[in-house]
Structure 1
């Protein structure tokens, strides 16, 4: 009888494990309530520029008028989250004699990275950005895009990231996370998600895809530039939708509604339902526009130009800029 009970208990536990493993994210974006309810059966990847803050307590200030506590400095992490350094997710690639930084890693290299973060095959992945700056969302979107390129579909971004999680008064951890052994398997590249320099040239020549420049307006016009780009201005025919428009400001930067996104693109001269190629300086800001157009607005004809203007100008290709002072 005891053996039968043990056998039944084992079967129940196995069934529960299989049920947990079969969990699917409800969409490309999840909120804090969903994550809190499912945190123990998903892999949370905390992507941020400063991993030192991952292990330090958040700092709060008290609003003099309301008496409410306000998150002043990000610290700590969602319990069980795996830390991911922004700069570690991309790699240098060689194209002929040209070495290009900030690119999508090779399949085997990205698989190794994911396993090092404790990502397990079949287990849902939830990406949490820092959530303090509008640009944080793009880092999460870039990591999401890379997983999608290598075949992962059971993946989402938590709205507002770690900052929203903390602002909502949820449990915060400061101790290092004990990571499970990762066994995630990358699949062949989904080339339909990636744009090359040749694809961009074809879009310019044939007007078959809209070009969406995700950088700041001064960079778009060629008034300023980043050191990663060898020229000033934008690709001919591109429209500017700065990535700073994609999230709200405040204590935690959150995504906007689908209706707001549609209006932003239309007002910027972009039809959110037609083919598009997003780009920026190196391919991070472009990921925010790709995510919104593809995952939130459902446009399956959007590609991200990997390497973006860093690669474009290394290849000696032209840019359009306003007249210099």
Structure 2
């Protein structure tokens, strides 16, 4: 039986569609999970988009700072970035919006605002993303988690997003290459944001409904803020939302032997949270002051532990108090 050298047009089109689908599946399958380590990223750097995120971009061009302890070279402060990394300014992930006639800072951007920001950093569509925090402190992990949450909110599939556990601190401590040249994109990309995924978001009205029905409300801030003993300058009053339970930031991160801050494993989180009396972490709503602590908790529960149904109230205490709503303290 002879076969012609030309494939029928409809078969050719079906083949193109199938190959495109297989390519997307193959790319999505690159990431081993929500967290990667430095050796894995070094081996797969060409297969992913490495996106550095930090709140002080000046350190991108600084040399790392070391000291000597008992004859050993110890990294004190991250400097530089992974070669060929893109750069996201953490402070650019929130915007000012008008709430009840007031201009409120640190709010979730619109899809258009987020899209413009990601295009400016040359984020590519349909290519796995590894987010790299500094790893110098727990706050940097929360910043990476917040970015991961926003990416998922605006349409990036979860399986295409991972965080480098330990961040640049772990990368440098492991002896991998560091670049101190400025990251200065000369063009923009065609990355597109989708409408926000409402399954990941909670509104003020939904928080109030959870209060009325005794739904699960989790406060992801440090315990002193939950108790009303401390507050951040962003919010006018110390306190918490009525009916909230603590999911304290102190339980979610550890300082590793190399000095980097890291997320824990799903197995360890289950033991830690159970030991703290947190037997239920979903479905419900998690909040903090402006979204950062809450995103860290969301990443732990939703991505690392694999427990779905936890939504974030992105405006947090900031939006709540700007609306003149009540808070309580011990």
Q: Would you call these one fold, judging by a TM-score over 0.5?
A: yes
Corresponding position: 1:189 with 2:196: yes
Q: Secondary structure at the match of 1:130?
A: coil
Aligned residue pair count:
303
Of the three residues 49, 67, 91, the one matched with 2:95 is 91
Paired position in structure 2 for 1:11 = none
Corresponding position: 1:219 with 2:220: no
- More moved, 35-44 vs 48-57: 35-44
Q: Secondary structure at the match of 1:195?
A: coil
Distance in 2 (CA, whole Å) between partners of 1:137 and 1:181 is 27
Cα offset, 1:246, TM superposition:
1.4
| Deviation digits for residues 229-277 of structure 1 (CA, Å, limit 9, x no counterpart) | 1222111121222223211125100111212212333334433453121
Matched-pair contact (CA < 8 Å) for 1:91–1:103: yes
Matched-pair contact (CA < 8 Å) for 2:100–2:323: no
Change (3 A) 1:162 1:123: same
Q: Secondary structure at the match of 1:254?
A: strand
| Deviation digits for residues 200-226 of structure 1 (CA, Å, limit 9, x no counterpart) | 111111123x21111121111111211
Distance in 2 (CA, whole Å) between partners of 1:86 and 1:181 is 19
Paired position in structure 1 for 2:60 = 54
Matched-pair contact (CA < 8 Å) for 2:219–2:245: yes
Distance in 2 (CA, whole Å) between partners of 1:258 and 1:69 is 32
- More moved, 255-264 vs 92-101: 92-101
Change (3 A) 1:104 1:60: same
- TM-score of the two chains, using structure 2 as the length reference: 0.87
Q: Unaligned regions of 5+ residues in structure 1, if any?
A: 1-14
CA RMSD of aligned residues (A): 1.9
Q: Unaligned regions of 5+ residues in structure 2, if any?
A: 1-18
- More moved, 295-304 vs 34-43: 34-43
Distance in 1 (CA, whole Å) between partners of 2:204 and 2:44 is 41
Distance in 2 (CA, whole Å) between partners of 1:297 and 1:320 is 30
Distance in 1 (CA, whole Å) between partners of 2:25 and 2:58 is 31
Distance in 2 (CA, whole Å) between partners of 1:206 and 1:254 is 36
How does 1:110-121 map onto structure 2 within 5 Å?
Answer: 110-121=114-125
